Chain A
Amino acid sequence: DAKTTQPPSMDCAEGRAANLPCNHSTISGNEYVYWYRQIHSQGPQYIIHGLKNNETNEMASLIITEDRKSSTLILPHATLRDTAVYYCIVKGGTSYGKLTFGQGTILTVHP
């Protein structure tokens, strides 16, 4: 599985867009990019995933560069409840089971 690199922490003002980057320069053609978040010791929660195209759902948008070596998770109007640890993971659908997490990015949304 491709290794991912994320900044350890980021800040964002409430109501502004939060843009969380992820580098996955060794991603292979069949690997998806997934984003999860974990709010204060709760179980991590799925946010969004993508393969090549940009994706949007009710929670966020995912922008994947054309070469697929990096991506950005966008929370369009961050709220205080978006303060969490955000994990970027790269995984193929049928690739063998082992699935590890990096340290993620601690996003702090300020009033």
Chain B
Amino acid sequence: NAGVTQTPKFRILKIGQSMTLQCAQDMNHNYMYWYRQDPGMGLKLIYYSVGAGITDKGEVPNGYNVSRSTTEDFPLRLELAAPSQTSVYFCASRLASSGANVLTFGAGSRLTVL
């Protein structure tokens, strides 16, 4: 049981390049989330998904796209990288149920856009 796995851990992009941050979970969680965290700041929700085929915008979705073709995977796509997207990105998941459900985070992906 690996939990939430994010790849890559580190990446440097040039302005205008595109890339995909991968997120996979093996806990059969239906809800998945992408957050970004700028230096010294809190977590901001980018996109989330409540199940395969269903995604929705969070607080800061501009410049990003997501898809959820399977329960396990929730990739985050940056189409035209900008310096403002330099940040640490965290993926998380939880199982929505009638009781309590804990959010499990990945270790993060540190992205620098130069």
The interface of chain A, by Cβ under 8 A from chain B, is 32, 34, 36, 41-46, 49, 51, 85, 87, 93-94, 96-104
Contacts and interface: CB of A to CB of B under 8 A. Distances in A.
Report the contact-size class of chain B (Cβ under 8 Å from the partner): 20 to 34
Interface of A: prevailing SS = loop
Given A41-B108, A101-B43, A103-B42, A93 B101 contact: yes
Contacts, number: 71
A49 B100 contact: yes
Interface in B28-51: 31, 33, 35, 37, 42-45, 48-50
A94 B103 contact: no
Given A43-B107, A102-B42, A94 B97 contact: yes
Contacts of A104: 42
